[in-house]
Amino acid sequence: MKKPFMISATFFALAMPLAALASEDLDIDAGTLTVTGEAIQVVENTAAQVTFGVQTNGVTSSEVVQANTDLLATVFAKVQGLGVDISDFETDNISLRQTANQETGALTGYEMNNSVHIYVSDINILGDVMTAATNAGVNRIDSVQMVPQKGTVDMDKLRIGAAADAISQARLYTEALGLEIIGIQSVIEPNDGNYPVPMRSILKSDAMESMPVAGGSSDFSSRLNVTYFVKIADEPKL
């Protein structure tokens, strides 16, 4: 009996046209060939995701909640006045806790924190949005992420491209090594994640001015690990 073998190859390239591969009954002497297909899309960042927080303190919980609600409503109104749609606001986290004197431990009241994401579709008004938010009462700006416009990235199209790349590589290696593909053992999509990286954390300033912002670009990719069953190709009959 021939000794089973394994070949592992990893290669990154642009996607090529997708094609089907035929398979047949597996041979007990079959080995495996593993390739990693990848497709990449570079997208210009013309939008931003801002995360800010509003904190209020008071003696009673109802007082604190009402103050936080009123303050947040003011912030929303100011930012909407710059052209940001209300559908682009998303609450991230809400917390309400009791506060106490650090020395005596006596309860002093309540503290409420409310974190909100704002999607800014026009990067040119990002500085104005941050200025308006802080002037309206935002206590902190936790992060600013440069992102593409919504709907710009088609992850399914990237997955198809990654599959096509895997097929192309498998054909290349099997032809070069005198092998024949006889089936597929596994198809795995690694959970690498495609998330924009925060630009930086920005603390509230008493005199934050509007500022120009360079969005840069983001790379989005799809990877696919495909393991094929292969065997030594039959020699052509004369």
The enclosing domain of 194 has a CATH number of 3.30.110
Nearest to 199 by CA among 42, 43, 41, 51: 51
Q: Are residues 142 and 61 part of one domain?
A: yes
Place of tokens 């700006």: 141
Q: Do 22 and 36 belong together in one domain? A: yes
* Residue 207: inside a domain: no
Domain count within the chain: 2
In the predicted model, is pLDDT for residue 112 greater than 90? yes
Do 106 and 178 belong to one domain? no
Q: Are residues 30 and 113 in the same domain?
A: no
pLDDT at 234: 79
Q: Which residues constitute the domain of residue 192?
A: 6-43+152-199+215-232
Q: How far is CA 39 from CA 19, 196, 237, in A?
A: 16, 17, 39
**Per-residue pLDDT at 89 exceeds 60:** yes
186 found inside a domain: yes
The answer, yes or no, to whether residue 13 has pLDDT greater than 50, is: no
* Tokens read off for 1: 């009996």
Write the pLDDT tens digit of every residue in 191-231: 765 544 433 333 334 444 445 566 688 888 999 999 999 99
Same domain flag for 84 and 107: yes
Query: Could you tell me if 121 and 176 lie in one domain?
Result: no
Residue % of the chain over a pLDDT of 70: 76
- pLDDT, average across residues 27-50: 86
Considering all CA atoms of the chain, what is the largest pairwise distance in Å, rounded to the nearest integer? 97
Q: Is residue 34 domain-resident?
A: yes
Residue 230 amino acid letter: V
Distance CA 199, CA 209 (A): 18
Asked, for residue 14, whether it belongs to a domain, the answer is yes
- What pLDDT, on the 0 to 100 scale, is given for residue 217? 84
